Structure 1
Amino acid sequence: MEQGPSRLFDEFAKLMTDAAGMAQGVRREAETAMKHQAERFFSDMDFVKREEFDVVREMAQKARAENEALSVRIADLEAKLAVLTAGHIVAAPPVE
């Protein structure tokens, strides 16, 4: 009679091991399905890739630096013009 309960426990342990293995398989399949759904969702959205964002950011930084340099140059030219005209306003010729 000692083998009866021991065998029952062995069978129960085997059943639990199989159930745990099956649960892990189901979990992996659910994760894979969710991952594919998320990838499809994000690919349907109009998101920008990181590389594209970095390129545009670099272009904006370069444009900002050029804008600042041009602002300094304009201020310098305006100061020189003021000195040359002794503070008098000089009308620019009409642009055609």
Structure 2
Amino acid sequence: MTQTTNRFLDEFAKLMTDAAGAADGLRKEAEQLFKSQGERFLRDMDVVRREEFEAVKAMAEKARAENERLEARIAALEKQLARSGTE
């Protein structure tokens, strides 16, 4: 009786292990499918990638800083011109 029960439990354990492996494979396949569909959806929506966004953001920050520097220089030159024009 002990051998029959052990064989039954061994077969049942093997079946559960195989089922868990199949479920894991199905999960991975579903994840890959959803990921590829999501990427296709974003590509079709013409969404900007994070790297591109960060590059343009850095360029805009640099341009803004340069603009502020030039504005300050123009203001100083205008002030200097106004002083020399009144003398």
TM-score range, shorter chain: 0.7 to 0.9
Q: 1:80 aligns to what?
A: 80
Deviation at 1:71, TM superposition (A): 1.3
Q: 2:57 aligns to what?
A: 57
Which stretches in structure 2 are left out of the alignment for 5+ residues?
Answer: none
Would you say how many aligned residue pairs link Structure 1 and Structure 2? Answer: 87
Deviation at 1:62, TM superposition (A): 2.6
The amino acid that maps onto 1:16 is M
Q: What does 1:5-24 correspond to in 2, within 5 Å?
A: 5-24=5-24
The amino acid that maps onto 2:58 is E
Q: Encode CA deviations 1:37-65: one digit per residue, 9 max, x unaligned.
A: 11111211222123322332232123212
Q: 1:91 aligns to what?
A: none
Instruction: State how far apart, in whole Å, the 1-side matches of 2:12 and 2:21 are.
Output: 14
Q: 1:46 aligns to what?
A: 46
Q: 2:26 aligns to what?
A: 26
Instruction: State how far apart, in whole Å, the 2-side matches of 1:42 and 1:15 are.
Output: 40
Q: Which 10-residue stretch deviates more, 63-72 or 45-54?
A: 45-54
Q: 1:93 aligns to what?
A: none
Instruction: State how far apart, in whole Å, the 2-side matches of 1:61 and 1:29 are.
Output: 42
State, as a whole percentage, how many aligned pairs show the same letter: 60
TM-score w.r.t. structure 1 length? Answer: 0.72
TM-score w.r.t. structure 2 length? Answer: 0.78
RMSD between superposed Cα atoms in Å: 2.0
Instruction: State how far apart, in whole Å, the 1-side matches of 2:2 and 2:64 are.
Output: 85
Q: Which 10-residue stretch deviates more, 57-66 or 33-42?
A: 57-66
Cα distance 1:34–1:70, how it changes in 2: closer, same or farther (>3 A)? same
